Structure 1
Amino acid sequence: MRLTVTLLLLIFSVKQSSPVHPGTGTFLEDSKTNLIFEGSQVTNLTAHQGTTALLSCKIKNNFQNNPVSWIRLRDWHILSTGPSTYTKDERFSVRQATAHDWSLGIQYVNKNDEGVYSCQVSTSKGSISHFYNLKVIVPRAYILGSEEYYAQTGTAISLVCIIEDTLEPPQFVFWYHNNKIISYDTRRTKVSFDSGSRTKKTSTRLLISSALLEDGGNYTCGSANAEKGMVTVYVSDGEMRMHVRNGARLLYLSIPIFFLLLIFDFFCRSFCFKANN
């Protein structure tokens, strides 16, 4: 019964709140209750997709042990009250390191988790909140050049993949050919890697020597939690193209000769017919 009343009061206080915008401040203190949130009114946080985002809410002077709740302002969802969570999403949890620390943890954070969160303390005199603006960075991989790559048999295929928007260089970068991982450092395949300590962009080069017809297809590259880059490679037989080109040239030269032969045959038939008459 007590928990139900607490939740109803919390919902009412949240609905009365106004929209939150980033601002400045030092320490957020409530003169009525002497509660103090450590930090400014709005804390801006950046998390890497796939990692754990930790929203640290430290409260001082909560002598009456007033309930601490986490609210997601996007949909006014009450995620937790005290140590209990009220969401089916098991990625959310309350991590109380000390009696004054009520941090919200979001495991495997993704782009949908972006937005404003509120750490709120409800008291008999009202509620006081601290806001967190969470931004999620999604690494992106792309292959230099156009979406199509053309090569002839016997030549080399060289593809360069760039991975950006990473908080730290990825430990592994993978290349795929038609959704199958490519074995590195084989007789014809070599892969080089640059962590990008100067450019802050990780790059990797795939080099395939003496291209074969079966080397054509879709090539993708990427790392964990990164959007993959893709290019389509077309490999053609150089000798076949030469034969086609030579055949077209012979056909082009044969057309006027054919017409000359028709004209010669026409005149020949005409003169021969008159001579016989």
Structure 2
Amino acid sequence: MSKSTVMRKWRERGLRKGCELALANVGLLILLMGAGARTQQLALEEQAAGGQQAAPKPLTLMSGNSSLAEWHSVEVESMLLAKGSAGATTAADASSEEVFSTSTAEPVRITQPPLKRPSFLDHAHLHPPDGQRRYGPYFEDGLGPFNVTARVGSTVLLDCRIGMLQDKTVTWIQRKEDSIHLLTVGKQAYSNDARFSLNFRYPNNWRLQILFVSRRDEATYECQVATHPPRVLQVKLRVSAPELHILDEHGHAVWDRYYKVGSRVELLCEASRVQESPSTVEWRQAGVSLAAVAKNHSRPELSVTSGTLVGKDTVRTVLTLQRARKEDSGNYTCVVADIAEATVTVHILNGELPAAVQHGTSGQAPVTPLLGVLVILSHLVVTCQSR
């Protein structure tokens, strides 16, 4: 039964009770008026006989309605004043006058207890827009899901503000398409990865902290309250990182590069989506900054340009070897603030397979027939193995 139907029935029931009570009170009032008139007539008769009339007592009647299971008190006080002369009025006129004289006394009081509202209203509760009940734990910011973007290597704090938690337990889990990991229970960390911990903020923020965020941390994180059923807040974490490309002299992306001794080597690193300073984009070899090496002139053939901003968030830096030596072979890495990197392997050859070596001044060397046969043969081998 709907709330509006219950209220309508209560109103109809109240109207019926009021009508029954009014009819009962009217009947009682008529009886009392008759009793008062009779009392006045007897007093006049006694006065005429020379007797002294005693003051009438207030008349109090109780009316009960068993069908209502309630008692209503009706108190009527009549003040009858004796007249000096019995012949001034007739018995009927005296009765009428005395009845109307009661209007100057205390009025008739009808007391009735107020109607009690339906019991279901006593247990009604307000609900927030997200459907959570205010008499139990609820998320102050809603159920989500919320989207959070973080940079690789940064520290992330995922908020979970809970009102009216009482004695319930809060847990954080990491949910991916193929796995679920329990991270924290209460204020205790349960993950094998020490980068995850609970960083509670008074009075009610059960926030999850992730140190040195990496791309593998992209997932959906759930803050759960141990109710029945559990209440869950979802936060989707996206991790952004710069994109790096190493290009050769012709603007082609390379991962391995072959040069002849004495050739000019030029490698360009292009980093996009860079929010850091352009100076954080640099060339390194074996963890050593090549810009610092070029600055102290320990390798005269080496030169490195500082990072140059060429777009809204794109930085370029160029590594150059004027006359490559055999000792210059190795891995060269382009790094962005230790959060992203790309590596190219440089091979400096002493004249072996001269046709396959890139000369810095003459561009791509022509392919010999033997090398062409080897390329075709390798292609056939890969094709056959795939089948």
TM-score for the superposition, normalised by structure 1: 0.63
- Please state whether the residue corresponding to 2:341 is helix, strand or coil: coil
Cα distance in 1 for residues equivalent to 2:273 and 2:261: 36
For residues 302 and 274 of structure 2, the distance between their equivalents in structure 1, rounded to whole angstroms, comes to: 27
Deviation at 1:139, TM superposition (A): 3.5
What secondary structure does 1:184 align onto?
Answer: helix
Q: Give me the identity figure in percent.
A: 28
Shift of 1:129: 1.4
| Pairing 1:156–2:264 present | yes
Q: Deviations over 1:51-86 (max 9, x none)?
A: 222211122x32525322212223333322221122
SS in 2 for 1:102: strand
**How has the CA–CA distance of structure 1 residues 180 and 41 changed in structure 2, closer, same or farther, with 3 Å as cutoff?**
closer
Matched to 1:115, the amino acid is A
The match for 2:294 is 184
Question: After the TM superposition, which residues 203-214 of structure 1 pair with which residues of structure 2 at under 5 Å, given as runs?
Answer: 203-214=316-327
Aligned partners of 2:160 and 2:206 also within 8 Å: yes
> Structure 1 residues 76 and 215 mapped into 2: Cα distance closer, same or farther (>3 Å)?
closer
What does residue range 30-41 of structure 1 map to in structure 2 within 5 Å? 30-31=132-133, 33=136, 35-38=138-141, 41=144
What is the CA deviation profile of residues 105-138 of structure 1, one whole-angstrom value per residue up to 9, with x for unaligned ones? 1112223222111011223x53321101112234
Aligned length: 212
Q: What secondary structure sits across from 1:112 in the alignment?
A: helix
Given that 1:41 and 1:131 are in contact with CA atoms closer than 8 Å, whether structure 2 keeps it comes out as yes
The answer to whether the 8 Å contact 2:246/2:342 transfers is no
- Structure 2: distance between partners of 1:162 and 1:37: 44
- Counterpart of 1:230 in structure 2 is 344
User: Does the 8 A contact of 2:139 with 2:160 survive in 1?
Assistant: no
User: Contact between 1:194 and 1:202, CA under 8 Å: does it hold in 2?
Assistant: yes
3-state SS, counterpart of residue 66 of structure 1: coil
Does the 8 Å CA contact 2:188/2:198 hold for their aligned counterparts?
Answer: yes
Q: Secondary structure of the residue that 2:173 maps to in structure 1? A: strand
Aligned residue in 1 for 2:220:
116
In structure 2, the residue matched to 1:71 is 173
Equivalent residue letter for 2:343: G
Partner of 2:150: 47
> Is 1:142 matched with 2:245?
yes
Q: 1:79 & 1:92 partners in 2: Cα distance?
A: 7
Cα gap change, 1:181 to 1:196, in 2 (>3 Å): closer
**Structure 1 residue 179: Cα displacement:** 7.2
Instruction: Say if 1:127 and 1:214 are closer, same or farther in 2 by CA, change over 3 A.
Output: closer
In structure 1, the residue corresponding to 2:313 is in which secondary structure?
Answer: coil
Question: 1:169·1:202 contact (CA, 8 Å) conserved in 2?
Answer: no
Alpha-carbon contact 1:217-1:233 (below 8 Å) kept? yes
Tell me the distance in 2 between the aligned counterparts of 1:104 and 1:151.
51
Q: 1:41 to 1:178 in 2, by over 3 A?
A: closer
**Corresponding residue number in structure 2 for 1:15:** none
AA partner of residue 66 (structure 1): K
Residue 87 (str. 1) matches residue 201 (str. 2) = no
Q: Give 1:88 shift.
A: 2.5
Q: Report the AA paired with residue 122 of structure 1.
A: A
| Counterparts in 2 of 1:71 and 1:51: CA distance versus 1, 3 Å | same
Give yes or no for the alignment of 1:133 onto 2:236.
Answer: yes
- 1:205-227 alpha-carbon deviations (Å, 9 max, x no partner): 11222333433444332231213
Contact persistence 2:256–2:344 (CA under 8 A): no
Q: What SS is found at the alignment partner of 2:216?
A: helix
How far apart are 1:180 and its partner, in Å?
A: 6.2
Supply the distance in 1 between the matched residues of 2:129 and 2:154 (Cα, whole angstroms): 29
- TM-score under structure 2 normalisation? 0.47
Aligned partner of 1:62: which letter? M
When residues 101 and 29 of structure 1 are mapped into structure 2, their CA distance, relative to the original with a 3 A threshold, is farther
CA contact 1:118–1:130 (8 Å) conserved in 2: yes
User: For the structure 1 residues 147 and 88, does the alpha-carbon distance in structure 2 shift closer, same or farther, using more than 3 Å as the test?
Assistant: closer
Match of 2:358 in 1: none
Indicate the residue corresponding to 2:332 in structure 1. 219
Indicate if the aligned counterparts of 2:324 and 2:348 stay in contact, CA closer than 8 A: no
Contact 1:28/1:41 (CA < 8 Å) preserved in 2?
no
Tell me how far apart the structure 1 counterparts of residues 158 and 319 of structure 2 sit (CA, whole Å): 40
| Superposed CA offset, 1:141-195 (max 9, x none) | 3211234545555553221112234443465344345776531332332211235
> Secondary structure of the residue that 2:303 maps to in structure 1?
strand
Instruction: Let me know the Cα RMSD of the aligned residues.
Output: 3.2
SS at match of 1:126: coil
SS where residue 71 of structure 1 aligns?
Answer: strand
Change (3 A) 1:27 1:44: farther
